[in-house]
Amino acid sequence: MKSFAPSAAARHSLLSLRSVLLAAALAAGFAQAPAMAQAAAPQMNLPRADLTAGMFRIDAQLAVTPQQREIGLMFRKEMPQQEGMLFVFEVPGVQCFWMRNTLLPLTAAFVADDGTIVNLADMQPQTDDSHCSARPVRYVLEMNQGWFAKRGIKAGAKLGGKIFNTP
């Protein structure tokens, strides 16, 4: 078996290439660091909509873009009882949610176009368990866990608000 020993010039070229690749990798890592730090911040300034559930008012942040929906309520340490987040999708589909990086226990209400709650799912913090709508929906409303139950709001109840074209 013959061994291969690169020439001094070839060794220098390989070392230079390694240095360039290492520098590029480090630069890419530093360039991403601020984006990661920004992604770890909770979304607090999204547009809002007033919703109702029977006689109860909900101040809902609207997560409309893919990035807003992806971050959702991640990294929030608290949320007032009357607040929630409404995820708005372009078209109805079976929507599935999980709780990675979400610190609060939440209940997801999967909501039809007319505001009818299709099903509810209690979700535990910082898990990858999947919670899905029972049928295709365009909206998912996340509230503090127990909010719906304490008010007797169940599947079949209707949410109101301009977004659902209901009072």
Q: What percent of the chain has pLDDT over 70?
A: 76
What is the C-alpha separation between 60 and 50, in angstroms, rounded? 6
Q: What is the pTM of this model?
A: 0.77
Cβ proximity of 102 and 40 under 8 Å: no
- pLDDT, tens digit (0-9, with 9 covering 90-100), for 51-73: 999 999 999 999 999 999 999 99
Type of residue found at 102: T
**Structure tokens that stand for 71 in this block:** 């971050």
What is the model's pLDDT at position 85? 98
Q: How many residues does the chain have?
A: 167
Which whole number is the average pLDDT over 32-56? Answer: 78
Question: Residue 76: pLDDT above 50?
Answer: yes
DSSP bridge pairs for 88: 139
Question: Residue 166: pLDDT above 80?
Answer: no
Type of residue found at 22: L
Mean pLDDT of the chain: 84
Q: What percent of the chain has pLDDT over 90?
A: 73
What is the model's pLDDT at position 106? 98
